[in-house]
Protein backbone atom coordinates (compact mmCIF):
# COMPACT_ATOMS: atom_id res chain seq x y z
CA UNK A 1 0.00 0.00 0.00
CA UNK A 2 1.27 3.45 -0.86
CA UNK A 3 2.10 6.15 1.61
CA UNK A 4 -0.55 8.50 0.25
CA UNK A 5 -3.21 5.91 0.76
CA UNK A 6 -2.16 5.08 4.31
CA UNK A 7 -1.95 8.76 5.13
CA UNK A 8 -5.49 9.16 3.85
CA UNK A 9 -6.65 6.25 6.01
CA UNK A 10 -5.08 7.89 9.05
CA UNK A 11 -6.88 11.16 8.30
CA UNK A 12 -10.17 9.31 7.91
CA UNK A 13 -9.73 7.69 11.31
CA UNK A 14 -8.94 11.03 12.93
CA UNK A 15 -11.79 12.72 11.12
CA UNK A 16 -14.37 10.12 12.09
CA UNK A 17 -13.25 10.39 15.70
CA UNK A 18 -13.74 14.12 15.88
CA UNK A 19 -16.82 13.85 13.72
CA UNK A 20 -18.54 11.44 16.05
CA UNK A 21 -18.15 13.89 18.94
CA UNK A 22 -19.51 16.69 16.75
CA UNK A 23 -22.45 14.40 16.09
CA UNK A 24 -23.06 13.99 19.84
CA UNK A 25 -23.20 17.74 20.31
CA UNK A 26 -25.16 18.27 17.11
CA UNK A 27 -27.98 16.06 18.38
CA UNK A 28 -28.65 18.61 21.11
CA UNK A 29 -29.07 21.37 18.53
CA UNK A 30 -31.15 19.28 16.22
CA UNK A 31 -33.57 18.01 18.88
CA UNK A 32 -34.17 21.44 20.36
CA UNK A 33 -34.60 22.93 16.91
CA UNK A 34 -36.94 20.17 15.90
CA UNK A 35 -39.16 20.73 18.89
CA UNK A 36 -39.27 24.51 19.42
CA UNK A 37 -37.61 25.80 16.27
CA UNK A 38 -34.88 27.77 17.97
CA UNK A 39 -31.11 27.57 17.99
CA UNK A 40 -29.89 26.90 21.51
CA UNK A 41 -26.82 29.09 21.36
CA UNK A 42 -25.72 28.10 24.84
CA UNK A 43 -25.43 24.44 23.91
CA UNK A 44 -21.70 24.67 23.17
CA UNK A 45 -21.13 26.01 26.68
CA UNK A 46 -22.89 22.98 28.15
CA UNK A 47 -20.39 20.78 26.34
CA UNK A 48 -17.55 22.89 27.77
CA UNK A 49 -18.98 22.58 31.28
CA UNK A 50 -19.20 18.82 30.77
CA UNK A 51 -15.50 18.76 29.96
CA UNK A 52 -14.65 20.74 33.10
CA UNK A 53 -16.71 18.47 35.31
CA UNK A 54 -14.95 15.45 33.82
CA UNK A 55 -11.55 16.94 34.59
CA UNK A 56 -12.58 17.87 38.12
CA UNK A 57 -13.91 14.40 38.91
CA UNK A 58 -10.94 12.55 37.39
CA UNK A 59 -8.38 14.78 39.08
CA UNK A 60 -10.30 14.53 42.35
CA UNK A 61 -10.56 10.72 42.29
CA UNK A 62 -6.91 10.32 41.27
CA UNK A 63 -5.98 12.67 44.10
CA UNK A 64 -7.91 10.50 46.52
CA UNK A 65 -5.77 7.57 45.42
CA UNK A 66 -8.23 5.68 43.29
CA UNK A 67 -6.44 3.65 40.63
CA UNK A 68 -9.00 1.70 38.65
CA UNK A 69 -9.39 3.70 35.45
CA UNK A 70 -12.69 2.18 34.26
CA UNK A 71 -14.38 3.03 37.56
CA UNK A 72 -12.97 6.54 37.50
CA UNK A 73 -14.25 7.08 33.98
CA UNK A 74 -17.69 5.72 34.78
CA UNK A 75 -18.03 7.94 37.83
CA UNK A 76 -16.80 10.92 35.80
CA UNK A 77 -19.31 10.15 33.08
CA UNK A 78 -22.22 9.87 35.50
CA UNK A 79 -21.36 13.04 37.39
CA UNK A 80 -20.73 15.00 34.19
CA UNK A 81 -24.02 13.88 32.67
CA UNK A 82 -25.97 14.77 35.81
CA UNK A 83 -24.46 18.19 36.28
CA UNK A 84 -24.48 19.15 32.59
CA UNK A 85 -28.12 18.06 32.31
CA UNK A 86 -28.93 20.26 35.27
CA UNK A 87 -27.28 23.16 33.49
CA UNK A 88 -29.21 22.38 30.31
CA UNK A 89 -32.48 22.21 32.21
CA UNK A 90 -31.80 25.44 34.10
CA UNK A 91 -30.91 27.33 30.94
CA UNK A 92 -34.18 26.28 29.37
CA UNK A 93 -36.17 27.12 32.47
CA UNK A 94 -34.58 30.53 33.06
CA UNK A 95 -33.78 31.89 29.63
CA UNK A 96 -36.09 30.23 27.11
CA UNK A 97 -39.33 29.03 28.65
CA UNK A 98 -40.57 32.48 29.69
CA UNK A 99 -39.98 33.68 26.12
CA UNK A 100 -41.88 30.99 24.31
CA UNK A 101 -44.35 32.32 21.78
CA UNK A 102 -42.63 35.68 21.32
CA UNK A 103 -40.98 37.05 18.21
CA UNK A 104 -38.23 34.73 16.93
CA UNK A 105 -35.43 37.20 17.55
CA UNK A 106 -36.10 37.47 21.27
CA UNK A 107 -35.25 33.92 22.46
CA UNK A 108 -32.30 33.94 20.09
CA UNK A 109 -30.82 37.03 21.72
CA UNK A 110 -31.55 35.58 25.14
CA UNK A 111 -29.68 32.43 24.11
CA UNK A 112 -26.67 34.44 22.99
CA UNK A 113 -26.74 36.26 26.31
CA UNK A 114 -26.86 32.92 28.12
CA UNK A 115 -23.90 31.66 26.12
CA UNK A 116 -21.82 34.74 27.01
CA UNK A 117 -22.91 34.45 30.63
CA UNK A 118 -21.95 30.79 30.99
CA UNK A 119 -18.61 31.29 29.29
CA UNK A 120 -17.67 34.09 31.65
CA UNK A 121 -19.08 32.27 34.63
CA UNK A 122 -16.61 29.48 33.97
CA UNK A 123 -13.83 32.03 33.45
CA UNK A 124 -14.57 33.42 36.91
CA UNK A 125 -14.97 30.03 38.55
CA UNK A 126 -12.09 28.16 36.95
CA UNK A 127 -9.84 30.80 35.39
CA UNK A 128 -9.40 31.52 31.72
CA UNK A 129 -6.22 29.52 31.13
CA UNK A 130 -5.93 26.06 29.64
CA UNK A 131 -6.29 23.23 32.12
CA UNK A 132 -4.37 20.13 31.09
CA UNK A 133 -5.05 16.54 32.09
CA UNK A 134 -2.25 14.02 31.48
CA UNK A 135 -3.30 11.29 29.05
CA UNK A 136 -5.27 8.59 30.88
CA UNK A 137 -5.64 6.11 28.06
CA UNK A 138 -2.53 5.48 26.04
CA UNK A 139 -1.52 2.94 23.44
CA UNK A 140 -3.36 1.59 20.48
CA UNK A 141 -3.13 -0.52 17.40
CA UNK A 142 -0.87 0.19 14.49
CA UNK A 143 -0.91 -1.27 11.03
CA UNK A 144 0.70 -0.63 7.68
CA UNK A 145 4.31 -0.87 6.73
CA UNK A 146 6.55 0.88 9.30
CA UNK A 147 9.04 1.80 6.58
CA UNK A 148 6.40 3.58 4.54
CA UNK A 149 3.72 4.97 6.85
CA UNK A 150 2.23 3.52 9.98
CA UNK A 151 -1.44 4.07 10.58
CA UNK A 152 -2.34 4.25 14.24
CA UNK A 153 -5.71 3.73 15.82
CA UNK A 154 -5.44 4.54 19.48
CA UNK A 155 -7.49 2.96 22.28
CA UNK A 156 -8.79 6.45 23.02
CA UNK A 157 -10.15 6.75 19.49
CA UNK A 158 -11.69 3.30 19.79
CA UNK A 159 -13.33 4.36 23.05
CA UNK A 160 -14.79 7.44 21.36
CA UNK A 161 -16.23 5.33 18.56
CA UNK A 162 -17.71 2.79 20.93
CA UNK A 163 -19.20 5.30 23.38
CA UNK A 164 -20.67 7.39 20.57
CA UNK A 165 -22.20 4.31 19.01
CA UNK A 166 -23.70 3.17 22.31
CA UNK A 167 -25.08 6.64 23.07
CA UNK A 168 -26.65 6.93 19.62
CA UNK A 169 -28.25 3.49 19.87
CA UNK A 170 -29.64 4.27 23.31
CA UNK A 171 -31.07 7.54 22.07
CA UNK A 172 -32.65 5.97 19.00
CA UNK A 173 -34.26 3.26 21.13
CA UNK A 174 -35.48 5.83 23.62
CA UNK A 175 -37.04 8.06 20.97
CA UNK A 176 -38.69 5.23 19.07
CA UNK A 177 -39.81 2.96 21.91
CA UNK A 178 -40.52 4.88 25.10
CA UNK A 179 -43.57 6.92 26.02
CA UNK A 180 -41.51 10.05 26.58
CA UNK A 181 -39.83 9.49 23.23
CA UNK A 182 -43.21 9.34 21.54
CA UNK A 183 -44.17 12.60 23.24
CA UNK A 184 -40.95 14.13 21.90
CA UNK A 185 -41.79 13.10 18.37
CA UNK A 186 -45.33 14.36 18.72
CA UNK A 187 -44.13 17.73 19.97
CA UNK A 188 -41.81 18.19 17.04
CA UNK A 189 -44.70 17.53 14.68
CA UNK A 190 -47.10 20.02 16.22
CA UNK A 191 -46.47 21.59 19.59
CA UNK A 192 -49.85 23.21 20.04
CA UNK A 193 -51.79 20.11 19.09
CA UNK A 194 -49.71 17.90 21.37
CA UNK A 195 -50.51 20.25 24.22
CA UNK A 196 -54.22 19.96 23.46
CA UNK A 197 -53.94 16.19 23.58
CA UNK A 198 -52.96 16.43 27.21
CA UNK A 199 -49.24 15.85 26.93
CA UNK A 200 -47.21 18.11 29.19
CA UNK A 201 -45.25 19.90 26.46
CA UNK A 202 -43.20 21.91 28.95
CA UNK A 203 -41.96 18.70 30.43
CA UNK A 204 -41.19 17.23 27.02
CA UNK A 205 -39.26 20.32 25.97
CA UNK A 206 -37.32 20.25 29.25
CA UNK A 207 -36.54 16.59 28.58
CA UNK A 208 -35.20 17.48 25.15
CA UNK A 209 -32.82 19.96 26.71
CA UNK A 210 -31.74 17.40 29.28
CA UNK A 211 -31.04 14.73 26.66
CA UNK A 212 -29.15 17.22 24.52
CA UNK A 213 -27.09 18.35 27.50
CA UNK A 214 -26.37 14.77 28.56
CA UNK A 215 -25.03 13.91 25.11
CA UNK A 216 -23.01 17.12 25.09
CA UNK A 217 -21.52 16.06 28.43
CA UNK A 218 -20.56 12.70 26.94
CA UNK A 219 -18.86 14.58 24.11
CA UNK A 220 -17.22 16.82 26.69
CA UNK A 221 -15.77 13.80 28.47
CA UNK A 222 -14.55 12.14 25.30
CA UNK A 223 -13.03 15.22 23.69
CA UNK A 224 -11.58 16.36 27.01
CA UNK A 225 -9.75 13.04 27.36
CA UNK A 226 -8.78 13.00 23.69
CA UNK A 227 -7.24 16.49 23.59
CA UNK A 228 -6.23 16.54 27.25
CA UNK A 229 -6.93 20.27 27.60
CA UNK A 230 -9.95 22.42 28.24
CA UNK A 231 -10.54 26.16 28.58
CA UNK A 232 -13.70 28.24 28.90
CA UNK A 233 -13.67 29.10 25.21
CA UNK A 234 -13.78 25.63 23.66
CA UNK A 235 -17.58 25.58 23.79
CA UNK A 236 -18.00 28.46 21.41
CA UNK A 237 -16.17 26.96 18.46
CA UNK A 238 -17.33 23.39 19.14
CA UNK A 239 -20.89 24.68 19.29
CA UNK A 240 -20.50 26.36 15.93
CA UNK A 241 -19.06 23.19 14.43
CA UNK A 242 -21.80 21.05 15.84
CA UNK A 243 -24.42 23.44 14.59
CA UNK A 244 -22.84 23.26 11.16
CA UNK A 245 -23.05 19.49 11.39
CA UNK A 246 -26.72 19.66 12.35
CA UNK A 247 -27.55 21.93 9.43
CA UNK A 248 -25.45 19.85 7.07
CA UNK A 249 -27.39 16.75 7.94
CA UNK A 250 -30.73 18.52 7.97
CA UNK A 251 -31.73 20.30 11.17
CA UNK A 252 -34.42 18.44 13.07
CA UNK A 253 -33.20 15.04 11.90
CA UNK A 254 -31.20 12.90 14.35
CA UNK A 255 -29.62 10.57 11.75
CA UNK A 256 -28.88 13.75 9.81
CA UNK A 257 -26.96 15.19 12.75
CA UNK A 258 -24.84 12.03 12.93
CA UNK A 259 -24.15 12.02 9.21
CA UNK A 260 -23.40 15.75 9.25
CA UNK A 261 -21.02 15.38 12.18
CA UNK A 262 -19.08 12.60 10.48
CA UNK A 263 -18.85 14.46 7.16
CA UNK A 264 -17.71 17.61 8.89
CA UNK A 265 -15.11 15.77 10.96
CA UNK A 266 -13.63 14.07 7.91
CA UNK A 267 -13.66 17.30 5.90
CA UNK A 268 -11.77 19.07 8.66
CA UNK A 269 -9.24 16.31 9.03
CA UNK A 270 -8.56 16.28 5.31
CA UNK A 271 -8.32 20.07 5.16
CA UNK A 272 -5.80 20.27 7.95
CA UNK A 273 -3.87 17.38 6.42
CA UNK A 274 -3.32 19.09 3.11
CA UNK A 275 -3.58 22.82 3.95
CA UNK A 276 -2.43 24.98 6.87
CA UNK A 277 -4.60 23.86 9.77
CA UNK A 278 -5.76 27.42 10.53
CA UNK A 279 -7.96 27.20 7.49
CA UNK A 280 -10.00 24.24 8.67
CA UNK A 281 -12.50 26.57 10.35
CA UNK A 282 -12.77 28.60 7.18
CA UNK A 283 -13.54 25.43 5.24
CA UNK A 284 -16.22 24.26 7.65
CA UNK A 285 -17.96 27.64 7.68
CA UNK A 286 -17.68 27.75 3.92
CA UNK A 287 -19.33 24.34 3.82
CA UNK A 288 -22.12 25.64 6.05
CA UNK A 289 -22.79 28.57 3.75
CA UNK A 290 -22.80 26.36 0.66
CA UNK A 291 -25.21 23.89 2.23
CA UNK A 292 -27.57 26.62 3.36
CA UNK A 293 -27.55 28.12 -0.10
CA UNK A 294 -28.03 25.06 -2.20
CA UNK A 295 -29.83 22.68 0.11
CA UNK A 296 -31.22 24.58 3.10
CA UNK A 297 -33.04 21.51 4.34
CA UNK A 298 -29.74 19.62 4.63
CA UNK A 299 -28.87 16.15 3.44
CA UNK A 300 -31.57 14.21 5.29
CA UNK A 301 -33.99 16.97 6.29
CA UNK A 302 -37.49 17.41 5.02
CA UNK A 303 -37.87 20.44 2.76
CA UNK A 304 -40.00 23.06 4.43
CA UNK A 305 -43.20 24.22 2.80
CA UNK A 306 -43.84 27.82 3.55
CA UNK A 307 -47.15 28.37 5.32
CA UNK A 308 -48.98 31.40 4.04
Partner 1 sequence: MQNSKFLSAIFAAGVTFVLACLMLGVKLNTEGTTLQVEGASTEQWTWIGLGIAVVFLSQLFSAQIDAFFSGLPKPQLAKVLPEASVMARLKPWLLAALIVGMLVWPFMVSRGSVDLATLTLIYIMLGLGLNIVVGLAGLLDLGFVAFYAVGAYTYALLSMYFGLSFWICLPLAAALAALFGFILGFPVLRLRGDYLAIVTLGFGEIIRILLNNWTAVTGGPNGISGIAKPTLFGLEFTRRAKEEGAMTFHEFFGISYSSSYKVIFLYLIAVVLVIFVIYLINRLMRMPIGRAWEALREDEIACRSLGLNRTAIKLSAFTIGASTAGFAGSFFAARQGFISPESFIFIESAIILAIVVLGGMGSQIGVILAAIVMTILPELAREFSEYRMLLFGLLMVIMMRWRPEGLVPMKRPHLELKQ
Partner 2 sequence: MSQLLLDVNGLTMRFGGLVAVNKVNLAVKNRQIVSIIGPNGAGKTTVFNCLSGFYIPSEGSVMFNGGEIAGMKDFQISRQGLVRTFQHVRLFSKMTVIENMLVAQHRHLNTSLLAGLFKTGSYKRLEQEAMDRAAYWLKQVDLLEFANREAGNLAYGQQRRLEIARCMVTQPELLLLDEPAAGLNPNETKELDELIIRLRDEHEISVLLIEHDMGLVMGISDHIYVIAQGTPLADGTADEIKNNDDVIKAYLGEE
CA dihedral 306, 36, 243, 298 (to 10 degrees): -30
- Count of beta carbons in the 10 Å neighbourhood of residue 288: 19
293 binds, among partner 2, partner 1, none (CB under 5 to 8 A by kind): partner 1
For partner 2, the closer of residues 148 and 193 by Cβ is 193
For partner 1, the closer of residues 47 and 87 by Cβ is 87
Residues paired with residue 141 on neighbouring β-strands, in sequence order: 153
Q: CB of 260 within 8 A of CB of 30?
A: no
Q: How far is the CB of 305 from partner 2 (least distance, A)?
A: 6
Residue ranges in 238-267 that form contacts with partner 1 under rule CB under 8 A:
240, 243-244, 247
Rounded CA-CA distance 20/90 in Å is 26
Q: CB of 235 within 8 A of CB of 119?
A: yes
Q: How far is the CB of 118 from partner 1 (least distance, A)?
A: 8
305 binds, among partner 2, partner 1, none (CB under 5 to 8 A by kind): partner 2
Residue ranges in 84-113 that form contacts with partner 1 under rule CB under 8 A:
86-87, 89-90, 94-95, 98-99, 102-110, 112-113
Q: Map residues 279-308 to x or -, x wherever contact with partner 2 holds by CB under 8 A.
A: --------------------------xx-x
- Count of beta carbons in the 10 Å neighbourhood of residue 1: 12
159 binds, among partner 1, partner 2, none (CB under 5 to 8 A by kind): none
Residues paired with residue 229 on neighbouring β-strands, in sequence order: 132
Identify the three-state secondary structure at position 230: strand
In degrees and rounded to multiples of 5, residue 133 shows phi and psi of -115, 125
b (16+ CB within 10 A) / e for 152-178: ebbebbebbbebbeebbeebeeebeee
Size of residue set near partner 2 by CB under 8 A:
3
Rounded CA-CA distance 208/134 in Å is 34
Q: How far is the CB of 49 from partner 1 (least distance, A)?
A: 7
Q: How far is the CB of 281 from partner 1 (least distance, A)?
A: 6
For partner 2, the closer of residues 103 and 147 by Cβ is 103
Phi-psi region of 24 (alpha: psi -120 to 50; beta: other; left: phi over 0): alpha
Residue ranges in 178-237 that form contacts with partner 1 under rule CB under 8 A:
236
For partner 2, the closer of residues 179 and 307 by Cβ is 307
Instruction: Figure out which of the listed residues 22, 47, 55, 209 binds partner 1, where binding follows CB under 8 A.
Output: 55
196 binds, among partner 1, partner 2, none (CB under 5 to 8 A by kind): none
For partner 2, the closer of residues 135 and 192 by Cβ is 192
From 238, 229, 217, select the one nearest 281 (Cα to Cα).
238
201-227 vs 43-63: helix axis angle to the nearest 10?
A: 60
For partner 2, the closer of residues 129 and 302 by Cβ is 302
Instruction: Figure out which of the listed residues 17, 20, 30, 115 binds partner 1, where binding follows CB under 8 A.
Output: 115
Q: CB of 248 within 8 A of CB of 288?
A: yes
Q: Map residues 21-50 to x or -, x wherever contact with partner 2 holds by CB under 8 A.
A: ------------------------------
251 burial level (CB within 10 Å; 0-12, 13-18, 19+): buried
Which parts of this chain interact with partner 2 (CB under 8 A)? 305-306, 308
Amino acid sequence: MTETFLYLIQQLINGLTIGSTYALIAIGYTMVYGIIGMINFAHGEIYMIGSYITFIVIAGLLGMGMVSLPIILIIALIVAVIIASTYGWTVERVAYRPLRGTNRLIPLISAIGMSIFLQNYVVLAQGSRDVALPPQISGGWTFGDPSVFEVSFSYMQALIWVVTFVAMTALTLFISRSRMGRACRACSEDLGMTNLLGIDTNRTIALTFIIGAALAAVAGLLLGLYYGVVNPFVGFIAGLKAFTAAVLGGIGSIPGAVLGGLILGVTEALTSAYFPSEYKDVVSFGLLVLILLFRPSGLLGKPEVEKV
